[in-house]
Structure 1
Amino acid sequence: MSRSTTDSASSATLPTPKERRRLREALALSEEQVAEAMGVTKATVKAWETGRSAPRGRKREAYAKLLGAAEVAEAARASEHTPPAPAPMSAATSAVTPMALPPSSASASASVRPMAAVKRAAKPPKAPSPVPAIAPGAARKGASKPPERLKPAGAEAAWEPAPEPVPAQPPVEPGLTPAEAFDALYAHAAPGLVHQTYLLTGRRRLSRESVEYAFHHAWEHWPEVAVDADPVGWVRAAAYEYALSPWHRLRRAHKHPDAPPTEASRRALLAALLELPPPYRRTVLLYDGLGLDLPDTAAETEASTPAAANRLLHARTVIGQRIPELAEPETLHRRLHELVSEAPTATLPAARAVRTGSERRTRKWTRTVLGVTAALICVTAFTAATAPTRYLPVEVPGETVNGVPVRGGPQKLGPEDVELRDKLRSEPNPGPERLIPSAE
């Protein structure tokens, strides 16, 4: 499986999104520190690590240089040091603590200067610089150090190599068309995903709907899924996101879970899982059920590695309190793995029906958008053609309103008043003759 992807806009080669996150954590850097050194925002760095976008130009070269330095230093450190022996596990305690660093590497972490290393990688160096130190406890898959799993511990956390993972990829045959490759992926992953989403939601109808939606989405973005390093993980993340959406609680068909299983142990475990918040439920299913390591679990749930570890510890504690026999993490891991590995019994539509349904839906939405756009254009054109070019105020005739006092000042003359006024002006009033006294 290829671990790197190449952007067509630049010659710099970047690791896969999961590897970018892992290498950043190997340098003990936060997203804010990398964003400050690269001159971008924290959201941009998160988009780089989730695969939603990729850097370009000089930022891409600086980012690739930083991740390449971390990769070389990590490989060198893994070849020099051997993993510590597992510490004895106390059987009297049932508390779960995060995995601890080996004492021999505690002093090495004090010399790590993450910001200096990332700033040196962000600037084009004039001379070869020394390999930066790598924070312990961040070994990648494929190194000599085995993956770490959370174990119960009393005063000190214990280490144990993870079991061999089950191959999650469908058999790939050369020369397959996109439709044939999609059908092979659907036949390989769809039944198991339906069973997993049922464990997450407790609703069989919603689980089938979630998986069909995820594969519809995968076929719409098949060029991206086909080159992904983990296509099953791509579809699984889409199915989990859809199944755990809070909007389904508003739908009458998915408001209440289905009837619980008849077996008492399975019913108790499923009820304990459904009591957990969705992010905790998803984390414990990925880690203890599917066997993913902690960084991959954190990347798929879009959380930091410490946050994913705390969610896992809380989920184990709640399940242990609800079911005392599952208080031991290994017992819970075995039970969840058995539950996830059960043969699925769901009946799914054929892969061809999923592909054609996705294409029909895409055509329908495309035609709808085009129709709405054309209608808006027509309405806008009609409005522009019929709208007046200037404003003409409307003169409304006056009306008599009862209860309103008469306005002061001269009133408008009526017809009789006008006639009388004209008569007075045309015929002067002679009046009585003036009396003039006589001298007689």
Structure 2
Amino acid sequence: VTPSAPSSPDSSRRPAGDAGPTRVLPPVPAGDGVSMPAERLKPEVSASGEAESAAPGLTPEEAFDALYAQAAPDLVHQTFLLTGRRALSREAVERAFQQAWQRWPEVAVDADPVGWVRAAAYEYALSPWHRLRRAHKHPDAPPAEAGRRGQELLSALLELPPPYRRTVLLYDGLGLDLPDTAAETEASTPAAANRLLHARTVLGRKDPDLTEPEELHRRLNALVAEEPVADLPAARAVRTGSEHRTRTWTRAVVGVTAVLIAMTGFTAVTAPTRYVPVNAPGETVNGVPVRGGPEKLRPEDVELRDRLRSEPNPGPERLIPVAG
């Protein structure tokens, strides 16, 4: 399933060579209810006037490596807020970039490649199958630097259902507008609004300050900034792993197809063209009980039966035998 990407990139985008601080969650101006600020987040523009996503003159490998270096650390932080599990966050982001490399011709021309990878990472991280894995059964401890309020916020987020948790992160954390949030969560706009209002209500019960979008965004940003940066594999290793996975699945599919073709051919050659009944050889059967029913008539019984049939007599003589 191709993740739905929002119409405009998130503000975590920056040139691959920029060594400045990473802004994981863009600031959200004041808003009422679920209304979006008037100023939307826009992609950064290079000195030549072209958006950074165009990446002119780069090979596919260089463009992928630049996207990975730009977005992977931020996505790991964001995914940690969704799952509370550091290893699962790194795994989800790595798997999402592997999928992006497998479908790079599609991702490279997407209006928001970061949003494409983000949606894939969120889908993988929130998969219910991870509950069956012992390593990801319980969430990790929050960072000690987050303090009591940060730990309470993370605990409150993890208590929300996954769709609500994802909606809060996209809207109040990343600053996506409501239609884009609904599209990425595969929900209608009214459903996304209801999820957002319900999530804010639940978080407000834990801390009344979290009912304000600005305070919620600030606390989310602070919580993510205090999470230590994860050790991510190199972009080349991700591309190699993606290609290896693709080759493995291709070989498996080809192998299974070849086995099915061989079995079908063998069956077609060896199967009979008509029905041949099988006559089982006779065998001696022992231990069968005696067949029930009347016994075989003796000669005198047969003679009496014939006499009764030839001399019909309705009188008492038929019932009372005559002596002599």
Question: TM-score scaled to structure 2, two decimals?
Answer: 0.74
Give the structure 2 partner of residue 191 of structure 1.
73
In the TM superposition, 1:12-31 aligns within 5 A as: none
In the TM superposition, 1:150-299 aligns within 5 A as: 151-152=32-33, 161-162=37-38, 165=41, 167=43, 172-262=54-144, 263-299=147-183
Q: Is the contact made by 2:143 and 2:227 (CA closer than 8 Å) also made in structure 1?
A: no
Q: CA deviation at 1:297?
A: 0.8
Q: Is the contact made by 1:200 and 1:281 (CA closer than 8 Å) also made in structure 2?
A: yes
Q: CA deviation at 1:343?
A: 7.3
Unmatched runs of 5 consecutive residues or more in structure 1:
1-15, 20-146, 410-440
Give the structure 2 partner of residue 103 of structure 1.
none
Secondary structure of the 1:367 match is: helix
The answer to which of 250-259 and 271-280 deviates more is 250-259
Give the structure 1 partner of residue 193 of structure 2.
309
Q: Which is bigger in relative contact order (C-alpha 8 A, separation at least 6)?
A: 2
Q: In structure 1, what is the Cα distance between the partners aligned to 2:176 and 2:224? A: 13
The answer to which of 161-170 and 196-205 deviates more is 161-170
Aligned CA distance change for structure 1 residues 407 and 170 (closer, same or farther; 3 Å)? farther
Secondary structure of the 2:157 match is: helix
Q: CA deviation at 1:289?
A: 0.6
Q: In structure 1, what is the Cα distance between the partners aligned to 2:180 and 2:29? A: 12
1:95-139 deviation per Cα after TM superposition (whole angstroms, max 9, x unaligned): xxxxxxxxxxxxxxxxxxxxxxxxxxxxxxxxxxxxxxxxxxxxx
Aligned CA distance change for structure 1 residues 286 and 203 (closer, same or farther; 3 Å)? same
Q: In structure 1, what is the Cα distance between the partners aligned to 2:91 and 2:178? A: 28
Amino acid at match of 2:179: P
Q: Is the contact made by 2:119 and 2:184 (CA closer than 8 Å) also made in structure 1?
A: yes
Q: CA deviation at 1:405?
A: 3.0
Q: In structure 2, what is the Cα distance between the partners aligned to 1:310 and 1:259? A: 30
Aligned CA distance change for structure 1 residues 334 and 260 (closer, same or farther; 3 Å)? closer
Q: In structure 1, what is the Cα distance between the partners aligned to 2:132 and 2:285? A: 57
Q: Is the contact made by 2:5 and 2:119 (CA closer than 8 Å) also made in structure 1?
A: no
Q: In structure 1, what is the Cα distance between the partners aligned to 2:198 and 2:262? A: 58
Q: CA deviation at 1:276?
A: 0.3
User: Is 1:363 matched up with 2:247?
Assistant: yes
Aligned CA distance change for structure 1 residues 309 and 259 (closer, same or farther; 3 Å)? same
Aligned CA distance change for structure 1 residues 216 and 232 (closer, same or farther; 3 Å)? same
The answer to which of 385-394 and 300-309 deviates more is 385-394
Q: Is the contact made by 2:102 and 2:242 (CA closer than 8 Å) also made in structure 1?
A: yes
Aligned CA distance change for structure 1 residues 278 and 259 (closer, same or farther; 3 Å)? same
Q: Is the contact made by 1:210 and 1:240 (CA closer than 8 Å) also made in structure 2?
A: yes
1:355-396 deviation per Cα after TM superposition (whole angstroms, max 9, x unaligned): 011011101111111111111111111121122222222222
What fraction of aligned residue pairs are identical, expressed as a percent? 70
Unmatched runs of 5 consecutive residues or more in structure 2:
8-27, 45-50, 295-324
Q: CA deviation at 1:199?
A: 0.6
1:120-164 deviation per Cα after TM superposition (whole angstroms, max 9, x unaligned): xxxxxxxxxxxxxxxxxxxxxxxxxxx997525xxxx9x673566
In the TM superposition, 1:273-422 aligns within 5 A as: 273-340=157-224, 345-396=229-280, 397-406=282-291
Q: CA deviation at 1:314?
A: 0.4
Q: Is the contact made by 2:6 and 2:115 (CA closer than 8 Å) also made in structure 1?
A: no
Give the structure 1 partner of residue 12 of structure 2.
none
1:287-309 deviation per Cα after TM superposition (whole angstroms, max 9, x unaligned): 11111111111111111111111
Amino acid at match of 1:378: A
Question: TM-score scaled to structure 1, two decimals?
Answer: 0.55
Q: CA deviation at 1:259?
A: 1.7
Q: Is the contact made by 1:216 and 1:355 (CA closer than 8 Å) also made in structure 2?
A: yes
Q: Is the contact made by 2:71 and 2:114 (CA closer than 8 Å) also made in structure 1?
A: yes
Secondary structure of the 2:76 match is: helix
The answer to which of 214-223 and 384-393 deviates more is 384-393
